Amino acid sequence: MTTSATISNDLRALDAHLAIVAEKADALALEALGGSDKAKADLAAALAEIERGKAERAILERLQAVALNREAGAADTASQADREAAMGEARDHAARLLKLAGEIDEIAARLIPSLAAIDAAETGLRDALRRAGRADYANGAIVGRQGLSGLGLDTLMRTVRGDRFAHDPRPLASIAASAWADLLETE
């Protein structure tokens, strides 16, 4: 199949050839002015070749236009196929995103009440310690004695962001057990 690039090369070659023939025709015209019959015949042949070259150029230009249109159509078809494939991929990602968002919603539905319950338990624990005269147990100097729900959320978010060295790697239950170990041992 002939391509527009091949036709462009043919046009350049034809133009170069016609430039040579035109230069030759100019030289022959000077000789023909001097009365040379051979120069006149050669000039007529050169001019006829230039006219054939012009006709051939017109044909090549038309072929190039058709080839460019065909190539553009093929590119549009390929681009359309690529766009359709990309839209299919986008739909797949959107469906996956919806599924994952639903999973997060389910986790949040379980997590939020647990966080509220942790806050309520901490409040109850501090109140009970104050009433028992042991408010010293409730100070926040020991990790896990205050703000355990916030610590859990912070650990979760740092893990999601990939900041794995910026938080206590222990499970939240282990942190709470360490924070209140001395209280639990006195029973």
Domain containing 43 equals: 4-113
- Flag whether pLDDT at 187 surpasses 60: no
- Kindly provide the b/e burial profile for residues 15-50, where b requires at least 16 CB atoms within 10 angstroms of the residue's own CB: eeebeebeebbeebeeebeeeeeebeebbeebeebb
| Structural domains of the chain, count | 1
Give per-residue pLDDT as tens, 62-78.
999 999 988 888 777 77
Please give the mean pLDDT across all residues of the chain.
88
Say if 133 falls within a structural domain: no
Cβ-based neighbour number of residue 124 at 10 Å: 10
Is 33 part of a structural domain of the chain? Answer: yes
Reported as a single tens digit per residue, the pLDDT across 99-134 is 999 999 999 999 999 999 999 999 999 899 889 988
pLDDT tens, position by position, 10-64: 999 999 999 999 999 999 999 899 888 999 999 999 999 999 999 999 999 999 9
Q: What does the pLDDT average to over 154-181? A: 79
Q: How far apart are the C-alpha atoms of 128 and 135, rounded to whole Å?
A: 9
Is 11 inside any structural domain? yes
* pLDDT exceeds cutoff 80 at 139: no
Dihedral (CA of 135, 136, 137, 143) sign: positive
Q: Does residue 179 carry a pLDDT above 70?
A: yes
Which pTM was predicted? Answer: 0.48
Structural domain contains residue 61 = yes
Residue 13 located in a structural domain: yes
Instruction: Please check whether residue 24 lies inside any domain of the structure.
Output: yes
Q: Is residue 93 part of a domain?
A: yes
Q: Is residue 65 part of a domain?
A: yes
